């Protein structure tokens, strides 16, 4: 037998030995929670991944998979803060708390959301506080927002307002209307400042 053919067998043996050394599913999950509370997210992820891989039949494996989702979303929020995208970071952290309320990261996410919102306010960058659509039938609000997401239009409640996003948003709505059989219409955008760094945006025709 060649050395290469032995590699899968050796790898499986290492996986089994490592998994066994880590203890029971309960121990792995408790360890992941401890790491999360200490901010050691990569160590938490390793424990959760071993739990889902080595103890895939355990009831805790489902909780571990959910926790990995919460962890990934939380890290996405942290990345947005580092990039200075405080508005979208606020939305992301809120999603962690709302989608994964049982997660040990939920309270951390709520605190991180408040922190990101304060940084957004201190930056002086206008924030979208209201986004509405009028006289755009047969389109629904959800259809428009889904199209914004598909085309990565940077307009959403709680996110920074950039004037250059308006034209991209108008084009996305016009294209969607055309797909629904409504063409040759003009889509306008009204942007109103409602405080020092808050804006209200309405699209209409």
Give residue-wise pLDDT tens across range 61-96. Answer: 999 999 999 999 999 999 989 988 787 788 889 899
Q: What is the pLDDT of residue 19?
A: 45
Tens of pLDDT, residue by residue over 94-108, are: 899 999 999 999 999
pLDDT band, residue 160 (cuts 50/70/90): confident
CA angle in degrees (0–180, nearest 5) for 173-175-179: 115
Q: Rounded distance, CA 84 to CA 79, Å? A: 9
**What are the residue boundaries of the structural domains of the chain, listed by start?**
7-123, 127-204
The answer for residues whose C-beta is within 8 angstroms of residue 81's C-beta and 6 or more apart is 89, 112, 115, 116, 119
Q: Rounded distance, CA 99 to CA 102, Å? A: 9
Q: Which CATH number fits domain 127-204: 3.10.20.310, 3.40.50.720, 3.90.550.10, 3.20.20.70?
A: 3.10.20.310
The answer for residues whose C-beta is within 8 angstroms of residue 185's C-beta and 6 or more apart is 174, 177, 205
* Pairing status of strand 188-195 against strand 127-134: unpaired
In this predicted structure, the answer to whether residue 8 has a pLDDT above a threshold of 70 is: no
Q: Residue 115, SS3? A: helix
pLDDT band, residue 127 (cuts 50/70/90): confident
Percent over 70 (pLDDT), the chain: 89
91, 74 Cβ separation under 8 angstroms:
no
Q: What is the pLDDT of residue 118?
A: 85
Q: Residue 108, SS3? A: helix
For the question of whether the overall pTM of this predicted structure is more than 0.85, the answer is: no
61, 87 Cβ separation under 8 angstroms:
no
In this predicted structure, the answer to whether residue 20 has a pLDDT above a threshold of 70 is: no
């Amino acid at each position: 037998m060649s050395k290469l053919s032995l590699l899968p067998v050796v790898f499986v043996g290492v996986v089994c030995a490592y998994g066994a050394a880590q203890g029971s599913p309960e121990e792995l999950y408790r360890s992941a929670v401890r790491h999360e509370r200490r901010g050691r997210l990569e160590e938490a992820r390793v424990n959760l991944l071993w739990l889902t891989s080595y103890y895939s039949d355990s009831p805790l494996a489902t909780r571990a998979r959910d926790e990995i989702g919460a962890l990934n979303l939380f890290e996405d929020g942290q990345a947005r803060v580092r990039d200075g995208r405080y508005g979208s970071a606020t939305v992301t952290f809120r999603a962690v708390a709302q989608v994964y309320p049982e997660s040990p990261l939920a309270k951390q996410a709520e605190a991180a959301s408040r922190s990101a919102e304060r940084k957004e306010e201190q930056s002086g960058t206008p924030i979208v506080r209201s986004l509405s659509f009028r006289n755009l039938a047969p389109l629904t609000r959800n259809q428009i927002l889904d199209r914004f997401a598909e085309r990565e239009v940077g307009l959403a409640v709680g996110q920074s307002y950039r004037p250059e996003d308006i034209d991209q948003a108008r084009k996305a709505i016009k294209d969607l209307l055309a797909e629904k059989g409504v063409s040759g219409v003009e889509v306008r955008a009204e942007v109103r400042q409602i405080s020092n760094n808050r804006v209200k945006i309405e699209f209409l025709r």
